[in-house]
Amino acid sequence: MSGLALSPAEAESLLAFWAEAGVDAMLLDTAVDRIAAGKIAPPVRPQTAAAPAPAAAPRVRQTPQAAPEAVAAAQAAAAAATDLTALGEAIAAFEGCPLRFEGAASRAIFSRGVADAPLMVIGEGPGADEDAQGKPFVGRSGQLLDRMLAAAGLETRVFITNTVFWRPPGNRTPTPVEQAICAPFVERAIALLKPKALLLVGGASAKSMLKTEEGILSLRGRWSEWRSSDGAIELPAMPTLHPAFLLRQPAAKKRAWADLSMLAERLDRPERP
């Protein structure tokens, strides 16, 4: 790749691909000859009793502290909403999230779908097409998501939203602080909708909702448990690959299809008495 010039758009797409894949480190600037290094005998050290290895700590997400007044205002506005229509109006009137003033359209982008859906789909944030049309997941990624949901028989059984409701500048990933400010509205939407399960689309959504630092390639394909901040609500959550990732890596669609198949099967299980 040395000497290969990339346009800003190509570079942004490439970085987004590796970020979605969970890569969080870069290669060294200078190549290391590992074969030659392996020929050098390591120094002999005296034998000592090996200490037991500590248990691996869970990779819990350390969210930077959001402004307490902004979070408190979001909690109050969300709690006052008695239905999803009122919640959308509360989000539209909310001025505590800095994304609202960073180049997004004046209207907030809350949701689309069925108001009594058994499945809530949660993405990361609106993009340019969503900003223009005022609905989540309506661009190329959204069109692919719709086709996938239809193939799984879920297209009429979903309510779709995001972790933030205004487009981040340049379609960047929303920050944990921005997601934390909007989280009370997402949680209130779950409480009002009462879905049977959550589909967390992409790494940014899964990390925010599950409070973890695990990458999406590690999280997808297995059930997790989402809990509300007060512990009153617990729901099964299935993280899956973002459609934008699938557009760049079509071979990964079979993994996303496996996730949706598991999800559809769980939604159709008979309720336990």
Q: Quick check: pTM over 0.75?
A: yes
DSSP summary character for residue 199: E
Q: Does 27 reside within a domain?
A: no
CATH of the domain at 102: 3.40.470.10
Q: What are phi and psi of 187, to 5 degrees?
A: -65, -40
Residue 122 belongs to domain spanning: 68-267
Q: Does 22 reside within a domain?
A: no
Q: Does 100 reside within a domain?
A: yes
Domains identified in the chain, total number: 1
Q: What are phi and psi of 51, to 5 degrees?
A: -75, 145
Helix (H) or strand (E) holding 39: none
Rounded Cα gap, residues 43 and 184, in angstroms:
57
- DSSP string covering 76-110, please? HHHHH--SHHHHHHHHHH---SGGGGTT--SS---
Q: What are phi and psi of 60, to 5 degrees?
A: -80, 135
Phi-psi region of 170 (alpha: psi -120 to 50; beta: other; left: phi over 0): left
Between the CA of residue 35 and those of 39, 41, 44, what are the distances in Å? 7, 12, 20
Q: Are strands 197-201 and 158-162 parallel, antiparallel or unpaired?
A: unpaired
Residues 6+ apart with CB under 8 A from 136: 109, 110, 111, 112, 123, 126, 130, 142, 160, 161, 162
Q: Is 4 helix (H, G, I), strand (E, B) or coil?
A: coil
Q: Does 209 reside within a domain?
A: yes
pLDDT at 2: 45
Q: Does 108 reside within a domain?
A: yes
Q: Does 9 reside within a domain?
A: no
Q: Does 31 reside within a domain?
A: no
pLDDT at 22: 56
pLDDT at 93: 96
Q: Does 107 reside within a domain?
A: yes
- List per-block mean pLDDT (blocks of 10 residues) for the chain, which spans 273 residues: 58 62 58 60 55 54 71 97 98 95 80 96 95 94 97 96 95 95 98 98 98 96 96 97 97 97 93 63
Helix (H) or strand (E) holding 226: strand 224-227
